[in-house]
Amino acid sequence: MAKDIDYSVYLVTGRDLLPPGKDYLESLEESIQGGVTVVQVREKDADTGEFIKIATESKRICDKYNVPLIINDRVDVALAVGADGVHVGQDDMEITLARKLLHAGTVLGLSCNTAEHVAEAVKLGVDYVGIGAVWGTKTKNLTNPIIGVRGVGERLKELDGTGIKAIAIGGIKSSNLWRTLHGSISVSGRALDGVAVVSDIVASRSPKEAATALSNIVRAFKDDQSQVRSLSTKNGVIDKVSEFVNKIRTVGPLVHQITNNVVATQSANVTLAVGASPIMATEPVEMEDLAKICGALLINIGTLRADGLDGPRLAGSFANKYRKPIVFDPVGVGATSFRKECVKELLDLFQVGVIKGNAGEMAALAGTSEVLSKGVDSVGSGFRDPVSFVRDFAKRERCVVVLTGPIDYISDGTSVAVLENGDPLLGKITGSGCMLGSIIAAFCATAMHEAEVQDNERTRIVDLERLFVGAIAGVLVLTVASEIVAKRPEVKGPGTFLPALIDGLAGVSAQDVRSHAKVTIY
Ligand code: 3NM
Ligand code: MG
């Protein structure tokens, strides 16, 4: 039996990346003190004697902290220093031969890029696979394609039913680590066991801090994964929604919104009307301060400019860092390649909690031509099987998905809520979808506030169960309010509907929502 290794923060050494004046062994020791759980000594240019010397010195430090040591590529060096394992690449010694030469119980790891590599690793019975490259990297000349977090998730699925551990490698940093871990969970629910990192630790002047930042995120992620609740019966959901509608005015969550200039004023007004406080800020330098104090972040790309991307980039990264839910509204994403590229970049940079869009936007995001869009509006009636679509898409994106239209579909990847409320006038004013994003963000903030208070602990970065109810609450409050005010005598058309809707949102009660809600949960 191979040794049980904690793969959480897997340091791969890279002496050539050390900052000037930083000693290799000092950097290694500091990184272990920061939370590195396993070390791979990787020497691509050293002669055998030098490699053995470096490995021996490294092992002395690893032993002091009881951290396992793995040697890259060289079975002879591993044997010479008594390493715990060997990591081989696709072009290195065959696993069966390495196994034959090494002592029983030596850990064997294999670099994998393609599905075939993983299938081979399973057949050969390696102890772990290193999947990559996830992101671009300057540390190694990549000969295989970058696979992204979704590619990692597809490789992970191939490991179902095996005991093989998995780490990801390539361009991983604490700034993209939340997204790396979350975005790579396979559709079967398999998550990474850890991440392998070179430059984010080695090139740092303070490798201890760099390793601590990585380690904190991996540990928090693993804690999150171990606690999963569910409350998806219809009554359970409506009870929770009523509770949030009652609670939002007491909580009064601050909702940071980066939205478009067509709707900014009315979005701020509806946020106030439902009982939350809006702050509409776009300046990159204030994003960290805002992430600390706000209860949720809304990012709406409606009038995004190339020179305005730093705001959403930083806001999203800091929202992940401070564990605030992100509601993402990819307005008109199907319309232009600029929008598509922005959305792709942003969704790869941070982990969102809710994605909201109409059928055209969702189809563009999911990469299907089943639904066409014209500008920001969706064409036709939507998807053939919207229930399956939202469930699969939510599962793939690891977040709650809200598909809007005459009927709204919401999923957390497991349950699907079908909501049939709303008045046709909602489709006759501009920005009702954008308002919905703001209201969903306000209710997600309320849901997460409850988590903080009840659990008296760090909230999960994507608490699917709570965000699912938060999203349903947001949709119900807007659509029920629209039904109520559309019947008022002063409402004669879209122009009089908008102010009446703001009044309606300010007055809608938990009882109104309960009595009007047309909800089916699948
Ligand atoms: N192997 P950094 S990427 C050693 O894709 C290595 O197999 C890779 O370095 C692979 O953390 C890589 O600095 C380098 O990006 C990773
Ligand atoms: Mg190699």
Instruction: Tell me the CATH number at 80.
Output: 3.20.20.70
Residues with CB under 5 A from ligand 2 (ion): 73, 89, 92
- Same domain? 330 vs 201: no
Mean pLDDT to the nearest integer, 423-430:
95
Point out the ligand nearest to the CA of residue 129: 1
Q: Which residues are bridge partners to 472 per DSSP?
A: none
Q: Looking at ligand 1, which atom is closest to the CA of residue 199?
A: 13
> Which one of the ligands is nearest to 155 CA?
1
- The atom number, within ligand 1, closest to the CA of 111 reads 7
Residues of the chain with pLDDT > 90, as a percent, come to 83
Average pLDDT over residues 302-324: 93
Q: DSSP letters along 247-310, please?
A: HHHHH--EEEEE--TTTHHHHHHHHHHHT-EEE----GGGHHHHHHH-SEEEEE-TT--GGG-H
Calpha distance 271→112 (Å, rounded):
47
Give mean pLDDT, residues 232-244. 83
Euclidean distance between CA atoms 244 and 248, whole angstroms:
6
- Does residue 500 sit in the same domain as residue 375? yes
Residue 230 has pLDDT above 70, yes or no: no
Confidence band for 450, pLDDT divided at 50, 70 and 90? confident
Q: Do 181 and 258 sit in the same domain of this protein?
A: no
Assess whether 302 and 421 both reside in one domain: yes
Q: Does 133 sit behind a cis peptide bond, omega within 30 degrees of 0 on the bond before it?
A: yes
Pocket lined around ligand 1, Cβ cut-off 6 Å: 12, 111, 132-133, 137, 139-140, 142, 169-172, 197-200
Contact 127, 165 (CB under 8 A): yes
pLDDT tier for residue 340 given thresholds of 50, 70 and 90: very high
To the nearest 10 degrees (0 to 180), the angle between helices 115-124 and 148-157 is 30
CATH number at residue 399: 3.40.1190.20
The pair of structure tokens assigned to 257 is: 């919104």
Centroid of ligand 2 to alpha carbon of 91 (angstroms): 6
What is the rounded average pLDDT for all residues in the chain? 92
Position 236 scores a pLDDT of 83
From the CA of 23, how far away is ligand 2's center (Å)?
Answer: 25
| Under 8 Å between Cβ of 332 and 339 | yes
Q: At which residue do the structure tokens 């809600």 appear?
A: 517
Please give the average per-residue pLDDT across 322-335, as a whole number.
Answer: 93
Q: Within a domain: residue 242?
A: no
Domain termination site, one of 196, 226, 256? 226
Higher pLDDT, 522 or 28: 28
pLDDT at position 383: 85
Does the pLDDT at position 227 exceed 80? no
217 and 255 assigned to the same domain: no
Q: Is residue 173 domain-shared with residue 277, that is, in the same domain? A: no
pLDDT for position 228 = 55
Q: Whose CA is nearest to atom 3 of ligand 1?
A: 170
Q: Report the nearest-CA residue for atom 7 of ligand 1.
A: 132
Catalytically active residues are: 434
pLDDT at 465: 86
Which residue type sits at 426? L
* CA of 73, nearest ligand number: 2
Q: Would residue 332 count as lying in a domain?
A: yes
Q: Does residue 204 share a domain with residue 172?
A: yes
Task: Note every long-range contact of 221-224, with CB atoms under 8 Å and residues 24 or more positions apart, other chains counting.
Answer: 221/178, 221/181, 221/182, 221/191, 221/461, 222/8, 223/458, 224/460, 224/461, 224/462
Longest Cα–Cα distance of the chain, Å, equals 90
- The answer as to whether 191 is a domain residue is yes
- What is the whole-number distance in angstroms between the Cα of residue 60 and the centre of ligand 2? 24
| Domain around 287 | 248-521
Q: Are residues 86 and 150 in the same domain?
A: yes
Whether the predicted pLDDT of 231 surpasses 60: no
Ligand 2 center to residue 183 CA distance, Å?
Answer: 27
- pLDDT of 504 higher than 90: yes
468 and 506, same domain (yes or no): yes
Q: Are residues 24 and 162 in the same domain?
A: yes
Q: Verify that 170 and 41 share a domain, yes or no.
A: yes
Measured CA distances, 358 to 191, 197, 237, 413 (Å): 30, 39, 23, 18
CB 26 within 8 A of CB 208: no
How much is the pLDDT for 367? 84
**41 pLDDT exceeds 60?**
yes
Number of domains observed in the structure of the chain: 2
Domain boundary among 195, 226, 257: 226
Is 169 domain-assigned? yes
